[in-house]
Amino acid sequence: MPELPEVETTCRGLAPHAIDRNIHQIIVRDSRLRWPVEAAVQSQTVGRSIRDLIRRAKYILFKLDDGHLLIHLGMSGSLRISDGDTPHEKHDHLDICLDSGFIIRYRDPRRFGSVHWTADDPYQHWLLKDLGPEPLSEAFNGTYLYERSRGRRSAVKLFIMDSHNVVGVGNIYANEALFLAGIRPQTQAGKISRPRYERLAQSIKKILNDAIALGGTTLRDFISGSGTPGYFRQELNVYDRGDQPCRSCSRPLRESVINQRATYYCGNCQR
DNA sequence: CCGGACGCCTGTCGGC
DNA sequence: TGCCGACAGGCGTCCG
């Protein structure tokens, strides 16, 4: 599913088509997403203009003249620009029809994503209000991770995937960042030193920035807002490379499971 | 409070 | 070829 770079890429792809366009119509073909699509998503948005598109964590915020649309892509969701003549396909659950004739089309086979409307400060929405800092902000750094992790006994991989601690880091980039930082994923978060957290924070920033620069990672079906795949897959050092040679030391990579999630690391380079 | 497991849902892939 | 289980990029909720 989309992690931060894929959501950012989606946002950037949509923005030129979306900003300053008026919402002409919203078609909801299936409201049974992670959270039911409420009537307000249609009733409060039609006739409004989109003034900005902002990413917060893995949410895409459509700033309207009045209120905000919030969209999360879940595990299998995508938002892409479609021309008005393209017929909808299976799993195309919602269309945002613009006055330009283009459609922002939401597809989500597994329906783990969701769409909301809020009149109030979107950052105070119940789904957003308890989120941790953005990983690419200055507030996120080694000192923050170090202090936040004291006394935590869970695996560092889970610690950085917990959106209360830092947002946007999913399974792919958690694996990749820990490889770059030379830290074993199963290490207890509370036992890692400050200098190692400095390196981990920098690794997370680097991996996310590099992935954004290449349009994200396409494993099977991710496509950007403008319809192109991401090219970061070829840059992955460990994810989905169990038993293949480490790109740094050539020893076979290891694969294990942490909290029901596939975990990849190099037993030699990561300690 | 913390940590871990579960479930939501569909599609795909590997093994038999 | 067909069936069946495992697994997949997330995350809110529940339980101990």
pLDDT cut 70: percent of chain A above it = 100
| Residue A29 Cβ < 7 Å to strand B | no
- pLDDT average, residue stretch A81-108: 96
Segment A176-197 shows an average pLDDT of 98
Q: In whole angstroms, give the CA distance from residue A260 to residue A175.
A: 14
Say whether A8 sits in a helix, a strand or coil: helix
Q: What is the pLDDT of residues A150-179, one digit of tens each?
A: 999 999 999 999 999 999 999 999 999 999
The contacts of residue A266 (CB under 8 Å, 6+ apart) are A179, A238, A246, A248, A249, A251, A253, A254
Instruction: Categorize the per-residue pLDDT at A269 as very low, low, confident or very high, splitting at 50, 70 and 90.
Output: very high
Question: pLDDT for A48-93, tens place per residue?
Answer: 999 999 999 999 999 999 999 999 999 999 999 999 999 999 999 9
**Amino acid at site A213:** A
On chain B, which bases lie within 7 A of the protein's CB atoms? 2-6, 8-12
Judge if the beta carbon of A150 is closer than 7 A to nucleic acid strand B.
Answer: no
Report the distance separating Cα A270 and Cα A91, nearest Å: 41
Is A58 noted as a catalytic residue in this protein? yes
